[in-house]
Amino acid sequence: MKKIIFAAMLASMSTSTFAEATLWGGQPQVVYELEHERVANQGGRANALTLYPGIRWKEGWINQAELMLTHEREVEYEDGDVERANNQKFAVRVKKNVQFTEHFGGFFRTLVGHKFKTVGSYNYGYIEPALTYEIGPVTLYSGYRVIRAFSNGHVNDYDLLRFGPGWEINKHHEVEFRYARAWDAVTRAKRSEAVEIEYTYRY
């Protein structure tokens, strides 16, 4: 998985010929995301790097299609012991935008993927309805993800609230800041909270 992420990073810095190209009438882009997560009740923490190489379209049934490549370093605390693990995720996600007024809109996003773990790997997916409000180059975002595993019971089922601002610097560069809080889908107990920084480069 590390080799795949490295290859994606090289692809994002490829030649100007590729940068100027469009695919199926779309615009290539790559998103870099850094996340720091803290598990509830001081149960641990995790740091993750995610790359989203993809294509965006202004019109059509789908406005964005991406691959997701994640490498996560996880530390867990339990009964005085410390456990460390490296996890990876691979997924495909698509997004459909909607516009209600000139400044107020939203989107619907869905993802299907696989989380690779030393023990207990599983397939999963999510759906995410979200609302956005634009104030000049700044976009305010709030989304709610319903995340469910397709295997290993309900232990990996949870809901996630995400919100924060984004700043479109120009037609090529955008920066977004997110706060996220997760709840267990069954018990509704707090699962974790996280902060995220996303940088998007559009070719």
Query: Which whole-number Å values give the CA distances from 30 to 68, 72, 173, 198, in the listed order?
Result: 10, 19, 10, 10
Per-residue pLDDT of the chain (203 residues; tens, 9 = 90+): 555 455 555 555 543 344 445 567 899 999 999 999 999 887 899 999 999 999 999 888 999 999 999 999 999 887 667 788 899 999 999 999 999 999 999 999 999 999 998 788 999 999 999 999 999 999 999 999 999 999 877 889 999 999 999 999 999 999 999 999 999 999 999 999 999 999 999 99
The CATH number covering residue 35 comes to 2.40.128.130
Q: In this predicted structure, what is the pLDDT of residue 88?
A: 96
pLDDT at position 83 is 83
Residue 17 sits at φ, ψ, to 5 deg, of -60, -45
Beta bridge partners of residue 47, listed in sequence order: 36, 73
**Count of domains forming the chain:** 1
Please state, for a pLDDT cut of 90, what percent of the chain lies above it.
Answer: 74
pTM of the model: 0.86
The amino acid present at 151, given as its one-letter code, is S
Determine the pLDDT at residue 117: 87
Q: How confident is the model at residue 165, as a pLDDT? A: 98
CB within 8 Å of 183: residues ≥ 6 apart: 158, 159, 160, 189, 190, 191
10-63 pLDDT tens trace: 555 543 344 445 567 899 999 999 999 999 887 899 999 999 999 999 888 999
Q: Which domain holds residue 59?
A: 2-202
Give the separation between CA 176 and CA 155, rounded to whole angstroms: 30
For tokens 């810095």, the residue is: 13
